[in-house]
Amino acid sequence: MWVRRAAIRPVAPYALLPLRALAEVENQLGEDDEQARERLDEAFTRFEETQPALAERISNILNGPLDETALALGYFLTLAIWLGFDAAFGAEMAEVTETALTGVEESLQLDEQIRLSDPAEAVDSDDVVAMEQPDILAFVHEHLDAALEANAGEVDVGDVHSIYRVVLVEVLALSYAVKAPSNWAMPTVEFTA
């Protein structure tokens, strides 16, 4: 067991999104025909209907002044992550409320402040998120690295960072929105002397 100092709440084991769910979504999004575009439009509409607070927060970032690479990454990653959660958990997903979303943003910000205040801290906040949802962050880093490598010198790193931050918030918010299975028993910790 690893003990860490963090302001980011742990993700329950039942809410871990498997890499296969993201790979399936990536394959669907990679298709380039009229039916694929229609499915993409339907997915955006469903996202806005089922997660209105999260969709609005993401839209606010995507509608800001971003370079093309950051904008494309933002649309792809935020939709792929939501589709992955939707495919894996469907009806087991609760709506992310504005309050829950603000709580996630504040905990991420507090975690970053904790890490900045301790020069010996070797773990960044995104590393903590990666420990909680390793497959999602591996997927995100793969696409970020590919986009940055393909567009080296042309991409606004600040814009990409804005997208990365909203993706981290989305990952945590959706992770916390997964409802516990009916047979889930909260693990107990026993201390013995």
Over residues 139-165, the pLDDT tens digits come to 999 999 988 888 878 888 888 889 999
- Cα distances (Å, whole numbers) of residue 165 to 83, 161, 162, 183: 19, 6, 5, 34
Pick out the chain residues at pLDDT < 70: 1-5, 119-123, 184-193
User: What pLDDT, on a 0 to 100 scale, did the predictor assign at position 2?
Assistant: 42
User: What pLDDT, on a 0 to 100 scale, did the predictor assign at position 116?
Assistant: 79
Q: How many residues does the chain have?
A: 193
Which secondary structure element, helix H or strand E, spans residue 47, and what is its range? helix 34-50
User: What pLDDT, on a 0 to 100 scale, did the predictor assign at position 50?
Assistant: 93
User: What pLDDT, on a 0 to 100 scale, did the predictor assign at position 3?
Assistant: 45
Tokens matching residue 103: 């709580």
User: What pLDDT, on a 0 to 100 scale, did the predictor assign at position 179?
Assistant: 94
DSSP bridge partners of 93? 178
Domain locations in the chain?
19-177
Residues 6+ apart with CB under 8 A from 38: none
- The pLDDT tens digits for 13-41 are 999 999 899 988 888 877 777 777 787 77
